[in-house]
């Protein structure tokens, strides 16, 4: 292919199409239950969480307005990039077609990155609005405390203990959080254990088959990301509320950028394909998620 403006522009359009095709990539497991997207138009989002969840009271006398916390919780947007260089000689020798799948993979990688941002909140245990890591044993909810972490392995006993703990959590006004765990999240290593807890309809005790009291109590979600250092981690998630356990914000979707200037290709001896985007994720309320971190 001759190195001229028309051909480079055509090549750019071809790679744009490949990138867009890559964006249609579907992550290995749906985690829609785990996060909610929030609009982002600046360098960071400030989340001024309420001291208490809105609730109705009998209207006697003046209205009682719920105060927004003075300390704002901030999630900074992060910059992400992916870049590929193709040698000028390969363009001239019509080898540019071998890069098309690579550019398509760049589009897939952006979709995967947005998925990984959510998983990283679980595994990274970042700070949340209480000033504690999202998984901690002393989240202050006014005079009350939310303890949403254990260092015990997943078992029927620890599973039941998590439900018992969540049932007693209260907001700063003394009202129950009413946490209703809907999903059990784990990795491949815990497949058999998790299946036995929530997907097996019957158990055998003392040689007698009995009903499993936790049968289908929650939906089991197995994430391949929970492997290696995280293979014993497990989580219970309450996805029944409008706010989810993770807040994700996309400041700018990734898009390909290519320099089609002939003189630049001639000067550098390469044709660059670049993409970048801005996004971040962080935790919301501790009472929406419970973790077993070993």
Kindly give the confidence (pLDDT) of every residue in the chain, 294 residues in length, as a single tens digit, with 9 standing for 90 and above. Answer: 788 888 888 888 999 999 999 999 998 899 999 999 999 999 998 877 545 465 666 676 776 545 444 456 789 999 999 998 888 888 777 777 888 899 999 999 999 999 999 999 999 999 998 889 999 999 999 889 999 999 999 999 999 999 999 999 998 888 899 999 999 999 999 999 999 999 999 998 888 999 999 999 999 999 999 999 999 999 999 999 999 999 999 999 999 988 888 888 888 888 888 999 999 999 999 999 999 999
Q: What's the total number of domains in the chain? A: 1
Is residue 111 situated within a structural domain? Answer: yes
- For 153, the token pair is 């392995």
What pTM was computed for the model?
0.88
Is residue 201 situated within a structural domain? Answer: yes
Is residue 54 situated within a structural domain? Answer: no
Is residue 66 situated within a structural domain? Answer: no
Is residue 198 situated within a structural domain? Answer: yes
- CA-CA-CA-CA torsion sign (37, 128, 157, 194): positive
> Domain range holding 171?
15-41+75-292
Is residue 51 situated within a structural domain? Answer: no
Is residue 2 situated within a structural domain? Answer: no
Predicted confidence at residue 54, as pLDDT, reads 58
Is residue 70 situated within a structural domain? Answer: no
Q: Measured between alpha carbons, how far is 38 from 35 in angstroms, rounded to an integer?
A: 10
173-179-185-186 Cα dihedral, nearest 10 degrees:
70
């Amino acid at each position: 292919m001759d190195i001229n403006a028309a051909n480079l522009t055509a090549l750019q359009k071809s790679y744009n199409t490949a990138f867009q095709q890559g964006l249609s990539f579907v992550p290995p497991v749906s985690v829609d239950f785990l996060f909610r997207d929030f609009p982002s138009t600046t360098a960071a989002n400030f989340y001024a969480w309420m001291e208490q969840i809105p609730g109705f009271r009998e209207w006697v006398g003046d209205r009682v307005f719920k105060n927004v916390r003075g300390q704002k919780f901030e999630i900074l947007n992060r910059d992400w990039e992916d870049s590929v260089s193709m040698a000028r000689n390969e363009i001239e020798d019509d080898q540019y077609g071998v890069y098309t799948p690579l550019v398509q993979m760049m589009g897939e990688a952006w979709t995967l990155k947005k998925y990984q941002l959510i998983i990283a909140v679980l595994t990274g245990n970042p700070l949340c609005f209480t000033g504690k890591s999202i998984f901690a044993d002393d989240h202050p909810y006014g005079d009350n405390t939310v303890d949403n972490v254990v260092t015990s392995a997943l078992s029927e006993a620890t599973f039941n203990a998590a439900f018992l703990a969540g049932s007693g959590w209260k907001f700063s006004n003394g009202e129950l959080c009413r946490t209703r765990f809907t999903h059990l999240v784990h990795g491949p290593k815990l497949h058999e254990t998790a299946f036995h807890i929530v997907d097996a309809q019957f158990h055998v005790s003392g040689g007698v088959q009995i009903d499993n009291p936790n049968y289908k109590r929650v939906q089991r979600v197995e994430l391949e990301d929970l492997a290696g250092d995280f293979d014993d981690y497990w989580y219970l998630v309450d996805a029944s509320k409008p706010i989810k356990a993770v807040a994700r914000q996309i400041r700018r979707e990734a898009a390909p950028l290519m320099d089609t200037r002939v003189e630049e290709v001639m000067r550098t001896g390469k044709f660059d394909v670049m993409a970048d985007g801005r996004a971040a994720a962080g935790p919301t309320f501790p009472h929406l998620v419970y973790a077993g971190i070993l």
